[in-house]
């Protein structure tokens, strides 16, 4: 069985980019932290922060993933606010 690969690559993001989660929320990309397992920092509309892996996942281990995780599913086009 082939491993499912994500079409999302948060390494392409720049600070301020808008991202859509699996639950339809729009979050903002904040920064890339080098040398971290969860290198991508995002900000929710209420100001809370979170981190993601390159593929937008919340957790590295699949057995820890939950259906209510805010996985990043789309990088929204720049220029559309």
- Write down the mean pLDDT value for the chain: 85
Considering only residues 81 and 53, tell me which one the structure prediction assigns the higher pLDDT.
Answer: 53
Using CA atoms, how far apart are residues 60 and 39, in angstroms rounded to an integer? 12
Rounded CA separation 37/79 (Å): 30
Check residue 7 and give its pLDDT: 84
Q: How confident is the model at residue 62 (pLDDT cuts 50, 70, 90)?
A: low
Helix (H, G, I), strand (E, B) or coil at 11: helix
Q: Residue 48 pLDDT more than 60?
A: yes
User: What pLDDT is stored for residue 8 in this prediction?
Assistant: 93
Rounded to an integer, what is the distance from CA 7 to the centroid of its chain?
12
What DSSP state is assigned to residue 79?
A: T
The structure's pTM equals 0.80
């Amino acid at each position: 069985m082939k491993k499912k690969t994500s079409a999302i690559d948060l390494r392409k993001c720049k600070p301020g980019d808008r991202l859509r989660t699996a639950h339809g929320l729009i979050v903002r990309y904040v920064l890339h932290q080098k040398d971290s397992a969860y290198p991508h920092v995002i900000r929710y509309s209420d100001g809370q922060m979170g981190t993601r892996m390159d593929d937008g996942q919340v957790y590295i281990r699949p057995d820890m993933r939950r259906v209510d995780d805010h996985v990043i599913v789309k990088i929204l086009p720049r220029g559309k606010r």
